[in-house]
Amino acid sequence: MPLKNKYLIVIVGPTAVGKTALSIEVAKRYKTAVLSADSRQIFKELNIGTAKASLEEQDGVPHYFVDSLSIEEPFNAGMFEREGLTLLDSLFEQHDVVVLCGGTGLYVKALLEGMDELPETDPELRAALNEEFEQRGLEVMQEELKRIDPITYDQIDLQNPLRVFRGIEVYRQTGTPLSAYKTGEKKERPFTAIKIGLTMDREELYARIDKRMDLMLAAGLEEEAQRFIAYKHVNALQTVGYSEIYGYMDGLYDREEMIRLLKRNSRRYAKRQLTWFTKDTEIHWFHPAAVGEIEAFIEGSF
C-alpha cells in the first residue's frame, strides 16, 4: 500500500454462508495470509465435516491454524489467543494487512479482545465429568450448573456438553463460579480490526446448510467419522457433524433420523453463531455476493 497502521480484516458469520471463499479473495487482493478462527479446522484428521478449503481452493494463499494439530492434542481459545498474537507479530513484519476468518466466536473474541485468566482444565476432573455425563445425562448436569452458576447457565449453549462441563469443573476446582472470572475488559492490540459479517435471508441460509450437508455425506462424512470412532470422546468430535453420526453408529436412531439431526443441528448452530456475532456492534454486515461493497468498505476503512 503501504499503510501507516496494521490491519486485521475479520470475516465472520454463520456456517455455510461463504466466509472461506471471501477470505481467500480478500487475501489474494492484498497478497497476504489467512488465519482460521475455526475450532475444528485446526485438526488435520477432520476434512469433510469441517468444510476445509482444498489446496486448490486456497489458490496459493497461506493458511494458518488449518491442519496444524492431531485430534488427540488439546487446543482452546486461550491457546489460540497466545499463538495467534505471536503469529500476527511475525506476519505484520511482512504485511500491512492480514485476514482472520472463521465462525468460532470465542476464538475471534480471544484474538481481538483477550481472554480472562481461567483455571487450567484438570484432565482427571474432566474424565470424571465425562463419566458422570454417561451415567446421569446432560439434563442433570445442566441443573447442577444452574444451581452453582446461574449466570453461566444463562449465557452458554446448554446443548453443548463441553460448555456445561467447563462451568461445573471450574466451580469444583476453585469453589468460585466461572462467571466470576470473567471481567469483560478488552485488551489493547497493536493492530486495527476491520470487522465484516456475512449474512443472508434465513431461508436462503438454511437451504445452503442442508445442501452442504448432503454434499458432505456424498463426499464420505460417515466414513470420515468411522475412521476416528476410537476418538469420539475428544472435544473435536463431540460437535455438530460428528456426534449425530456416532449416535447413529451406537444404534440410538436410524440413518434417516441421523440426516435429519445433522441438518437440524447445523441450522441451530448457525442461529447461535448469528446470535453471538450480532451482539458486536462493530461488525458491518453484507450479503456474501456483495463483493464490490465489501471491497469498498475495506478500502474506506484504512
Would you list the domain boundaries of the chain?
7-115+185-301, 123-181
pTM score: 0.84
Which cell goes with 179?
Answer: 462467571
Tell me the one-letter amino acid at 163.
R
What architecture is the 7-115+185-301 domain classified under in CATH?
Answer: 3-Layer(aba) Sandwich (3.40)
Cα Rg, the chain, nearest whole Å: 20
- Asked if 19 and 51 count as a contact pair (C-beta separation under 8 A), the reply is no
How buried is residue 249: exposed, middle or buried, by Cβ count under 10 Å (0-12/13-18/19+)? middle
Per-residue confidence in pLDDT tens, the chain, 302 aa:
456 799 999 999 999 999 999 999 999 999 999 999 999 999 999 999 999 999 999 999 999 999 999 999 988 888 999 999 999 999 999 999 999 999 999 899 999 999 877 777 788 888 888 888 888 888 999 999 999 999 999 888 888 888 899 999 999 888 888 988 877 778 899 999 999 999 999 999 999 999 999 999 999 999 999 999 999 988 889 889 999 999 999 999 999 999 999 999 999 999 999 999 999 999 999 999 999 999 999 999 99
Let me know if domain 123-181 sits in CATH 1.10.10.10.
no
**Distance, CA of 51 to CA of 61 (rounded, Å):** 17
State the first-to-last Cα distance of the chain, in angstroms, to the nearest integer.
Answer: 10
User: What crossing angle do the helices spanning 161-174 and 123-136 adopt, rounded to 10°?
Assistant: 130
